[in-house]
Amino acid sequence: MGTLERSARRERRLGAFQQAMLMAVVLGGVVLVAATIPNAAQLLRFFPGFKKGARFNYKAKSVLGRLAEKGCIEFVEERGKRYARITEKGEQMLKFETEKVAMAKKRRWDRRWRIVIFDIPERRKSVRSKLRRYMQEYGFVRLQDSVWVYPHDCEDLIALVKASFRIGADVLYLIVERLEHDTHLREHFALPVE
């Protein structure tokens, strides 16, 4: 279970789920930026709730940090930019995560949709095409060209795919409680229709 999944579960228990989801998406983006861009942590002071002198452990809170600790990815610097690169252990874990999420399909649905949104530049068109093929082969349903939906937890899988394709900042992973007009999705995934 990924960081966003745990965070969402905790916030649901405490209430105010919608606000928590917005903050998780905002903070998730900031953590990713902070992990990849030097001095980006200084940007946090402009976010509500930031306390001067507060310490943030990005390594423990970000998916990339967790994967780096496990040795699944490594950070490399090329031409002044920092990238996450998947390791051999990460490739093995990617296969394992694929199987694990496939097994999760057999479990009861938690009534939350996982949405993957990406905006990959035209100059990386081949990577964009590979990602679309991967999403389709994996079983995601395309809502729009760059918006894909899946009913089960796949956060770690998406993080590994981001590292493997080197598209970290171009892809967002969302957990959504309600999705308008989702009957066709429920039927596609053989989920209970309300």
Distance of CA 6 to the CA centre of its chain: 13
153 known member of a binding site:
no
Place of tokens 């918006």: 147
Alpha carbons 156 and 114: distance in angstroms, whole number: 12
Task: Determine the angle formed by the axes of helices 17-36 and 63-70, rounding to 10 degrees.
Answer: 50
Q: Give the C-alpha distances (Å, rounded to integers) separating 151 from 13, 50, 146, 187.
A: 20, 33, 17, 12
Calculate the alpha carbon distances from 45 to 29, 30, 34, 41, 80 in Å: 15, 11, 13, 8, 25
C-alpha to C-alpha distance for 57 and 178, rounded to whole angstroms: 31
DSSP 8-state class, residue 168: G
**Residue 9: partners with Cβ closer than 8 Å, 6 or more residues away:** none
Q: How far apart are CA 191 and CA 108, in angstroms?
A: 9
- Residues forming the annotated binding site? 119
Q: Output the known binding site for Mg(2+).
A: 119
